Structure 1
């Protein structure tokens, strides 16, 4: 019997040096496989339980990946959004 675990590659946000990134993944990378983020950073895939995500501090968002993702989706950049009254 098999227990299937479904994972959405679009929901994977790799953390490199304390920053979480976005990448165009078409599947789940194998451990050690190279991944290139939208911003151009490359790193080897590794996996840990979600409970370990903040073991080395709270990851911050990569501003370059965010800007690229927003531009591709037609979402205003954070610094250009107007606050609502």
Structure 2
């Protein structure tokens, strides 16, 4: 019997040097597989438990990945959003 685990590739945010990125994944990458981020950065996939995510500080978002992601989806850029 198998226990199926469903993973949304859009919810995968690779972290490089403390900065999380966005990428166009169609599935879960295999360990060591090369990944290209929206900003053009590349890295090999590696996996760690979620509870280790902040062991080296809190990751911040890559501004270029965020800008590209928002533009592609028609989401206003952070600097153009109006405060409520």
TM tier relative to shorter chain: over 0.9
Structure 2 residue aligned with 1:66: 66
2:16 matched residue in structure 1? 16
Gaps of 5+ in 2: none
Gaps of 5+ in 1: none
Aligned to 2:33: 33
Q: Deviations over 1:6-62 (max 9, x none)?
A: 111111000011000000000100000000000000000000010011011000000
TM-score normalised by structure 2 residue count: 0.96
SS of corresponding position for 2:66: helix
User: Deviation above 3 Å: which 4+ runs of structure 1?
Assistant: none
Root-mean-square deviation (Å):
0.7
1:3 is aligned to 3
TM-score, normalising length: structure 1: 0.95
Aligned length in residues: 84
Measured after TM superposition, the shift of residue 5 of structure 1 is: 1.1
